């Protein structure tokens, strides 16, 4: 069972490599927080370590990586209160370079655009093998890439979360936007198949309250 879950989650990363280059202004740059999986720590460098395990390191790690053009992503270890960063683009489609780890979060620099004025530390949170069952979902037409699905949610006035499901060999899939999230509908948040991902819009409250 553990092996099956591991294979399913890593397979989802294999078929859904990042498709946005970091050729954007500082105002357009943000982070995606990926839960439950991280790159193997080869060639990573210490970015920050808190003097106390009780002191949150998230904001400091994001600030340091965001201000360093050489930092493309970092892994935050909550138990050690420290983060290690990567100077190279980790290949999300290479499962041999990824590990399951529930004690960390992987923050990846993304270029989501500057239209949202989001003040949150990270714009989106991604969880593989999960889905929000919501009858009021807005299904977008056609097949989209993961990045297109994510930016659609960020740009949608009332989108708090999205479900993305790969449906063909082109690595594109269906995208459904929701006014709800796993916190508003905890009983509707479910474990799902390897081909589905759940995105949570951290800027959603800002967007809804400002429009």
pTM to 2 decimals? 0.84
Q: Report residue 66 as tokens.
A: 């965001």
> In sequence order, what DSSP letters do the residues of 11-79 get, joined into one string?
HHHHH------S-S-TTTEEEEEEEEEEE--TT-EEEEE-SSTTS--HHHHHHHHHT-TT--EEEEETT
**41-97 residue pLDDT tens:** 778 999 999 987 666 799 999 999 999 999 999 999 999 999 999 998 887 766 778
What CATH code is carried by the domain that includes residue 74? 3.50.4.10
Reduced to 3 states (helix: H, G, I; strand: E, B; else coil), residue 98 is: strand
- Mean pLDDT for 164-169 is 86
Number of separate domains in the chain: 1
Q: For position 109, what pLDDT does the model report?
A: 94
Strands 82-86 and 124-128: unpaired
Mean pLDDT, the chain, integer: 83
How far is residue 78's CA from residue 54's CA, in Å, rounded to a whole number? 9
- Tell me the backbone φ, ψ of residue 155, rounded to 5 degrees: -90, -15
Structure-model confidence comparison of residues 6 and 85, the more confident one: 85
Cα 6 from Cα 113, distance rounded (Å) = 33
pLDDT of residue 25: 74
CA atoms within 13 A on the CB side of 46: 6
Tell me the pLDDT band of 11, cut-offs 50, 70 and 90: very low
Please say if the pLDDT value at position 22 is more than 90: no
Confidence at residue 205, expressed as pLDDT on a 0 to 100 scale: 62
pLDDT score at 127: 95
More confidently predicted of 161 and 120: 161
119 lies in which domain range? 2-210
């Amino acid at each position: 069972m553990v092996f099956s879950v591991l294979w399913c989650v890593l397979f989802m990363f294999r078929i859904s490599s990042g498709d946005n280059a970091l050729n954007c202004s500082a105002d357009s740059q943000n982070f995606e927080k990926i839960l439950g999986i991280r790159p193997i720590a080869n060639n990573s460098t210490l970015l920050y370590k808190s003097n106390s395990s009780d002191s949150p390191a998230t904001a400091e790690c994001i600030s340091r990586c965001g201000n360093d053009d050489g930092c493309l992503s970092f892994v935050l270890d909550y138990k050690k209160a420290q983060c290690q960063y990567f100077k190279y683009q980790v290949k999300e489609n290479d499962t041999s370079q990824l590990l399951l780890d529930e004690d960390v979060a992987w923050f990846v620099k993304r270029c989501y655009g500057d239209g949202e004025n989001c003040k949150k530390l990270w714009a989106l949170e991604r969880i593989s093998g999960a889905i929000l069952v919501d009858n009021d979902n807005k299904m977008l037409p056609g097949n989209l890439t993961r990045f297109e699905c994510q930016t659609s949610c960020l740009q949608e006035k009332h989108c708090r979360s999205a479900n993305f499901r790969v449906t063909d060999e082109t690595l594109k899939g269906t995208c459904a936007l929701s006014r709800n999230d796993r916190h508003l509908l905890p009983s509707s948040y479910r474990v799902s198949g390897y081909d589905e991902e759940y995105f949570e819009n951290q800027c959603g409250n800002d967007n809804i309250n400002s429009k």
